[in-house]
């Protein structure tokens, strides 16, 4: 278990992006094939309880995991599924409004903000400008 924990923590540290559990399992198994997917899930649960790891939901896609620490939000494109991270401060004005007007505390990280990425928006506009495409 300790070896599994270390391998999983290493894989999370090495990754610049949030990882779904199956991708994380693949990376861990590339060096330690004996670590099962259920062990990965168990360790992720434990890491979350210890606040070492956080998870987020990217649209209809899988839950992703990453180390706790750097506050950020997620944007996900409903056209192509692209997702990326943005600084948490971006949501500060919205968070302030929600707190003032509704007494609601925004969780900037847990769920991704859905929309269209730059490329999908451009493609949409092309199609509208020229319906023969």
Binding site for Zn ion (CB under 5 A): 18, 56, 66, 77, 79-80, 82, 117, 120
In the bound complex, what is the minimum distance in angstroms from residue 33's beta carbon to Zn ion?
27
Q: Which is nearer to Zn ion, 114 or 120 (CB)?
A: 120
Nearest residue to 57 (alpha-carbon basis) of 87, 21, 24, 92: 21
Least distance in angstroms from the C-beta of 62 to Zn ion = 11
Distance CA 107, CA 60 (A): 18
In whole angstroms, the minimum distance from the beta carbon of 66 to Zn ion comes to 5
Is the CB of 31 or the CB of 63 nearer to Zn ion?
63
Judge whether 119 and 80 are in contact, CB under 8 Å: yes
Residues 108 and 70: beta-carbon distance below 8 Å: no
Q: Would you say 113 and 76 are in contact if contact means Cβ atoms under 8 Å apart?
A: yes
Closer Cβ to Zn ion, 3 or 61, answer by number: 61
Pairing of strands 113-115, 72-77: parallel
Alpha-carbon distance of 63 to 56, in angstroms, equals 6
Closer residue to Zn ion, CB minimum distance, 4 or 67: 67
What is the smallest separation between the CB atom of 60 and Zn ion, expressed in angstroms? 14
């Amino acid at each position: 278990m300790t070896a599994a924990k270390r391998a999983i923590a290493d894989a999370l540290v090495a990754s610049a992006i949030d990882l779904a559990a199956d991708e994380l399992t693949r990376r861990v198994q590339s060096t330690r094939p004996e670590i099962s997917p259920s062990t990965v899930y168990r360790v992720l649960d434990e890491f979350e309880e210890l606040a070492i790891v956080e998870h987020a939901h990217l649209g209809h896609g899988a839950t992703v995991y990453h180390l706790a620490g750097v506050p950020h939000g997620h944007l996900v494109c409903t056209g192509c599924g692209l997702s990326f991270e943005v600084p948490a401060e971006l949501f500060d004005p919205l968070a302030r409004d929600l707190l003032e007007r509704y007494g609601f505390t925004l969780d900037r990280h847990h769920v991704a903000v859905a929309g269209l990425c730059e490329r999908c928006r451009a493609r949409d506009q092309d199609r509208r400008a020229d319906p023969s495409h």
